[in-house]
Chain A
Amino acid sequence: MVGHNTLQQMYKEMVTARYYEERLQEEYLEGKQPAFDISAGPIPGELHLAAGHEASGAGVCAHLRDSDTVTAPHRPHHVAISKGVDLERMTAEIFGRETGLSKGKGGHMHLYDPEVNFACSGIIAQGCPPAVGAALTAKKRNTDDVAVAFLGEGAISQGAFLESLNLAAVQELPVVFVIEDNDWAISMPKERVTDVEDGSRRAWGFDMHGERVDADDAVTVYEAAEDAIGRARDGNGPSVLEVQVHRRMGHFMGDPESYRPDEDVERAQRRDCITRMETRLREHGFEEADLEGIREGAHERVDEAIEWAKDQPEPEPEATYEDVFTNSPDDWPERPSREVTATDGGEE
């Protein structure tokens, strides 16, 4: 059973993630008006928002500690927040600042926080094998740490996922694959790309435990995840957990969504996991003022993180050549009086 503090913590994470993304959306669109130009504004590039996915991150990560590993896909913010990723430095990273988690090199799809063993990346199902590797490490080192790979329902047709299931199963590794089923992979509805409605059944083919949570509800997710993560931690092997979530936004900012029926958008808007969570909290005796207090605290924390991030310096161009083992331009042959942009060996 979910306790009072856990409920409060999960709600806090969910409203933090939701408000965080509302603020990111505002910042992202600034400078992209009136005409949307992906490379303009304080946050350039792609931005995949996870509004409607919060129950999954909160319900699963409630069972994790810092030493447990999480890999997430291109839609990472809610998971990162629930895993306890440094919010200030994550925000600075999204704004491309020097003090960001990756010094501005990664951006929102490539967030790494080794303090809490979190990483995400932009190639579909790419995080599955590394999660298996983290689980393998836990087994070899005899710790009771676990690993969790988050992925979308579109990603479960990818070889990297299916091969990971098999490897994890045959090695009996402490890893859980969490499928966030939001019904869509960009413009492709689930039924166009798989005949198996319940993605967790992919596990059965590997003789692995698989379970689906139909309700977009953090408490139900919490209970199912308790089972899956407990199984991994106790040395009883991997499992797959599929969670129904909803995509409240386009695939990425700027997605015209002309492929998506209006009713589907409306359904996703109506079926809000945060509203559902508030009902849960009330059932557990929380007062309106309690909820309001949690929300205010979350908003304040987000606003502070964004203010802090926007004050941070941009990286120096020279940083381009750091953090990689490479033939740097410093080693390129000297050419007479060539004024290249930087690191031409001038300061040596």
Chain B
Amino acid sequence: MAQAETPSASEIDRELTMSRAMVEAIAHEMREDEEVFVMGEDVADYGGIFDSTQGLLEEFGHDRIMDVPISETAFMGAGVGAAMQGMRPVCELMFADFFGVCMDQLYNNMAKTTYMSGGSVSVPMTLMTAVGGTYNDAAQHSQTLYGTFAHLPGMKVVVPSNAYDAKGLMHTAIRDNDPVVYMFHKRLMGLAWMPAPEGPKTGVPEERYEIPFGEADVKREGEDATIVTLGLHVHRALEAAEGLAEDGIDAEVIDLRTLVPLDTETVLESVRKTGRLIVVDEDYHSYGVSGELIARATEGALEDLEAVDRVTAPDTPIPYSRPLENEFQPSTDDIAAAVRSITQ
């Protein structure tokens, strides 16, 4: 594969939104492999509520871009079954929050089949799902659930923060022989009705390229503190780092890109250099990504660690009203304040 020759985002003039980049990867895989197909609610004529399948119907028709009844247990389970037959379904769960109505198929079937079969059956399914808040959609439509999916063994978990990664990770996900949960943040998609921050729209090569799972991306190098994060908060962390730089605090920002597998080594390397770790996570505070990252840092770099902190959502359901959701969401200011307090 021409992996090494693929140009980086900054070398490419053609800029795409994250949704366009995802669609491009899915379309490419569908052209190359008849056995790739898409199933979900409103994926065909609507093109995905968050544009994740926009334009695919026109090229591939209803047979391969399948609108399905609001029966998540049935169609997610059918995705698992088709994948067990060797097909490569891309199944969309419209909001990650809806996992509750189909979780048995996902974690008892999709995630465990390979292991329970002693490796004799694989499940090359991609579960694509929208995550995240910041637009006042309240407790049942705003969760990220990163920690929930990453906690349960048997699924790879991918969280792109920009168009370049979104395309490369989607190619890897569809070709992977294991189930992959591909979680895209709504605020990053470049939707006309939900403006994205600066950052997720990037240069994207036209050719096919893969981004290997388990390779975090150091978005900004720094000497004083390591900020580890993912998804939307990569952009908030970078913004915080800019502000901190003006005050002479030099923060490193790491985008995890995949939670399973997790690139512990890149995090440890950075922590050994800076001595200070801040984990930023839009997911709930307890028993999740932030706790896991801090545990790994203490296991692997205890002697180098001078300070740790985490900036996360609290352990509450997500409130609707704007002042409440603003309080709930880890902000750029929260990140900057946390970094300041442990670098002083």
A-to-B contact residues, CB < 8 Å = 35-39, 44-46, 96-97, 100, 102, 104-107, 109-110, 121-125, 154-155, 157-160, 185-188, 192-194, 254, 258-259, 314-321, 324, 326-329, 332, 335-342
> Given A39-B135, A341-B327 in contact, is the A96-B322 Cβ separation under 8 Å?
yes
- Asked if residues A320 and B49 are in contact (CB atoms below 8 Å), the reply is no
Main secondary structure of the interface of B (DSSP, over half): loop
- Asked if residues B324 and A194 are in contact (CB atoms below 8 Å), the reply is no
**Closest chain B residue, CB of each to CB of A186:** B42
Task: Write 21 A-B pairs (CB below 8 A) sorted by A numbering.
Answer: A37-B194, A39-B194, A46-B141, A96-B321, A96-B324, A104-B321, A105-B319, A124-B101, A157-B69, A159-B101, A186-B49, A193-B68, A193-B69, A194-B69, A314-B323, A316-B323, A317-B323, A320-B327, A326-B315, A327-B315, A340-B337
With the chains together, A320 CA to B194 CA distance in Å? 24
B185 to chain A, nearest CB (A): 14
With the chains together, A339 CA to B192 CA distance in Å? 35
- Asked if residues A160 and B101 are in contact (CB atoms below 8 Å), the reply is yes
- Asked if residues B135 and A45 are in contact (CB atoms below 8 Å), the reply is yes
With the chains together, A104 CA to B320 CA distance in Å? 6
Kindly supply a per-residue 1/0 record for chain B positions 107-149, scoring 1 wherever the CB is within 8 Å of any chain A CB and 0 otherwise: 0000000000000000000000000001111111100000000
- Asked if residues B324 and A317 are in contact (CB atoms below 8 Å), the reply is yes
Asked if B264 lies at the interface with its beta carbon under 8 angstroms from chain A, I say: no
With the chains together, A259 CA to B54 CA distance in Å? 12
Instruction: Please provide the 7 A-B residue pairs with the shortest distance between their CB atoms, ordered closest to farther.
Output: A104-B321, A96-B321, A107-B320, A157-B69, A45-B136, A44-B136, A187-B46
B-to-A contact residues, CB < 8 Å = 41-42, 44-46, 49, 67-74, 97-98, 100-101, 134-141, 192-195, 285-286, 309, 314-317, 319-324, 326-328, 331, 333-334, 337-338, 341-342, 344
Residues of B within 8 A of A46 (CB): 137, 141
With the chains together, A306 CA to B39 CA distance in Å? 42
Residues of A within 8 A of B314 (CB): 320-321, 326, 328-329
- Asked if residues B194 and A158 are in contact (CB atoms below 8 Å), the reply is no
A59 to chain B, nearest CB (A): 25
With the chains together, A141 CA to B74 CA distance in Å? 36
B145 to chain A, nearest CB (A): 14
> Given A38-B194, A327-B285 in contact, is the A122-B69 Cβ separation under 8 Å?
no
A338 to chain B, nearest CB (A): 4
Residues of B within 8 A of A337 (CB): 341, 344
Residues of A within 8 A of B316 (CB): 320-321, 324, 326
Pick the most buried of B42, B314, B331: most chain A CB atoms within 10 A of its CB.
B314
Residues of B within 8 A of A185 (CB): 41, 70
With the chains together, A329 CA to B73 CA distance in Å? 36
> Given A109-B138, A324-B316 in contact, is the A158-B337 Cβ separation under 8 Å?
no
Residues of B within 8 A of A259 (CB): 45-46
B240 to chain A, nearest CB (A): 13
Residues of B within 8 A of A327 (CB): 285-286, 315
- Asked if residues A105 and B321 are in contact (CB atoms below 8 Å), the reply is yes
**Of B42, B72, B320, which contacts A187 at CB under 8 A?**
B42
With the chains together, A258 CA to B55 CA distance in Å? 13
Residues of B within 8 A of A97 (CB): 321
**Closest chain A residue, CB of each to CB of B326:** A317
**Closest chain A residue, CB of each to CB of B195:** A37
With the chains together, A44 CA to B140 CA distance in Å? 15
